[in-house]
Amino acid sequence: MARAYLGGMADTRNGPEPIDGALDWFDSNATGGGEEPLVFRQAAAGMWLQDIQFGTGNALTVDHGAGLLQVDTGINASHARTMIANVRSVSDKPITHIVYSHGHTAYNHGVEAWLAHNEERGEPAPTVIAHRNVLLRHRRYRETQEWLERVTEWQFGFPNDSIVGTEMFTVLRDPDVTYVDELALDTERPIQLIHSHAETDDGSGLWFADDKILYGANATIGSFPNAGSPLRAPRDPRAWADQMDRYLELPAELLIREYGSNVEGRDQIVDMLTTVRDALRWLRDETLVRMNKGMVIEDAVNEIELPARFADSPWLPQTYGCADYIVREVWRIEAGWWDRNITSVHPAPLDDSTGAVLDAIADKRAVLDAARRHLDEGEPQLALHVVDLLAMARRDTPEVAEAKALKAEIAGVLAEDSPTYMSENYYRAVAAGHPARW
C-alpha cells in the first residue's frame, strides 16, 4: 500500500528565495548549452516531451483529465518559461501536479517559474511530489553545495571557477508530498508513481496502466548505466538491475526514457530492459569473483572485459557511464574505501609525503625521461604513474613544474582516446591546468 508523507524539513521547506537565472551561465556558454533544444513533441495521446536542459533530457507533460501533470521543470527559470509556453501551445488546463523524476537539482531549478505561472493565472499551486529519499538528497546538497559545484566543473568540462558560486545545487523547493514504494494519484487518467532506484535512490517512474506507457526516469537512459560516477555518492548497480526486473513486470508497449528516444513495442522494451539488467549483473558477478580471490581493484578492472553481447549492444553505448566505473563501484560498495596498501591506511599529509618522495629521488631527470619514453612508446597510462613521482609534489622547483607540464600533456593524449565522456573531461581539465588534484 502506498504511504504518503507530507512536507519536508520545516525550517527549509521551500529553500531560499527564488534564484531567477542562477544557471544563466548555461544560456550563453556553448559547452554548457549542449545541443539545440529538442523539439516540443507529442509522445502519445495527451502526453508531450521537451528537453529538461538545453538539448538533453525528456521532461514529460501529461493531460490527466482535469489538469496537467509535469515531470521535471527545467534547468532554470528562463528555460522553464520556454517550457511553459510550449505546454500552453497545446493545452490551457491548470497544472495540478509537479513530479521530480529524482533529486538532482538541475532538473528542477525551474520549479519556481511553474509555481509563479499558476499564481499569475489565479490557480492553486500544483502539488509537488517526489520519492521520500529526495528529502535526504536535498539535505546533503545543502551541506555540500560548493563541493558539488566543483565536481560539476570537472565532470562536465566547464572552465575552472565557472560553476562555483552559481548556486547550481541550491534547493529551491522541497516536495509537498513524498512516498515510499508506490503512489497512485487521484486523477481521471490512472497514474501510478513507482520508486525507481537506479542512477539515484530517489527516482520516480510513472506507470500509465490504461495506456500501457512507462516513464522509466533515470533507470532508462540512452547510454551505459551511470552506476559508478567517480566523484559522486555511491550508486548501487545491483539496485539498478533489480529495477529493470520491476519494470519488466509491467506490460508496457511504449517506454519513455529520461534520456534518449522512446522505445516502442513490447519486444524492443523487453530487449532493452533485459540487456541493461544482464550487463549490470554480469559485471557485478565478475567483480565479486575477483574480489573473493583476493585480487586488488587495479588488476580486476583491467582484467574484466565486456562480452560482445553487451559491448556491441545499441542499448549500452559507453558514452557517459562505462563498465570500468561499475566494477569500481561494486568494489567500493562491497570492499570499502581502502586500497589495501598499508601506506595509505593512515597517510601523512600530502605536502609531507610527496615532498619526501621528491627528496628521495636523486636523479629527477631520469624520472622525467622515463615518463616521456612511456608516452612516446604509446603507454600514456604508465607515463602518468611515473611522472606522478614528481608531479604530485607541492614544491616550486623547475623539475616539479616540468613534471606538471608533462602530466598535462599526457592527460591531453588520454583525452583523445577516452573510454567515456566523464573520463575525457577529467583528462581535459588537467590538460588545461585545472587544479582538480595536483
- Report DSSP letters for 200-260, one per residue: SSSEEEEEETTTTEEE-GGGS-SSS-----TTSS---HHHHHHHHHHHHTS--SEEE-SSS
> pTM value?
0.90
Domain membership of residue 401 (yes or no) is yes
Domain membership of residue 253 (yes or no) is no
Is the domain of 18 the same as that of 126? yes
Give the domain-ending residue among 296, 313, 335.
335
Query: Phi/psi of residue 192, each to 5°?
Result: -120, 125
User: Do 217 and 203 meet the contact criterion of CB atoms below 8 Å apart?
Assistant: yes
Domain membership of residue 276 (yes or no) is no
Is the domain of 316 the same as that of 352? no
Is the domain of 319 the same as that of 214? no
Is the domain of 355 the same as that of 415? yes
Is the domain of 23 the same as that of 74? yes
Is the domain of 330 the same as that of 355? no
Residues spanned by the domain of 154: 4-219
Give the domain-ending residue among 272, 306, 335.
335
Q: Specify the pLDDT at position 436.
A: 57
User: Do 15 and 174 meet the contact criterion of CB atoms below 8 Å apart?
Assistant: yes
Torsion of CA 57, 62, 67, 70, to 10 degrees: -20
Is the domain of 190 the same as that of 297? no
The CB density around residue 341, as the number of other CB atoms within 10 Å, is 9
**Distance separating alpha carbons of residues 287 and 310, to the nearest angstrom:** 16
**Distance separating alpha carbons of residues 394 and 351, to the nearest angstrom:** 6
Is the domain of 126 the same as that of 33? yes
C-alpha cell belonging to residue 69? 501533470
The CB density around residue 38, as the number of other CB atoms within 10 Å, is 17
Domain membership of residue 371 (yes or no) is yes
- For residue 130, what are the contacts with CB-CB under 8 A and spacing of at least 6? 99, 100, 102, 103, 175, 178, 202, 204
Consecutive 10-residue averages of pLDDT for the chain (438 residues) = 29 36 39 59 97 88 98 94 97 98 94 98 98 97 92 84 83 95 98 97 98 97 92 94 98 96 97 98 98 97 97 93 96 95 96 97 98 98 97 95 96 92 90 70
Which parts of 312-397 fold into alpha helices (H)? 323-335, 350-360, 364-376, 380-391
Q: How far is CA 324 from CA 233, 335, 358, 430, in A?
A: 17, 16, 31, 20
The CB density around residue 395, as the number of other CB atoms within 10 Å, is 14
Is the domain of 319 the same as that of 385? no
Is the domain of 140 the same as that of 189? yes
Name beta bridge partners: 341: none
Is the domain of 24 the same as that of 162? yes
CB-side neighbour CA atoms (13 Å) of 18: 13
Question: What element of type H or E holds 5?
Answer: strand 4-6
Is the domain of 404 the same as that of 331? no
Domain membership of residue 155 (yes or no) is yes
Give the domain-ending residue among 166, 194, 219.
219
**Distance separating alpha carbons of residues 202 and 133, to the nearest angstrom:** 5
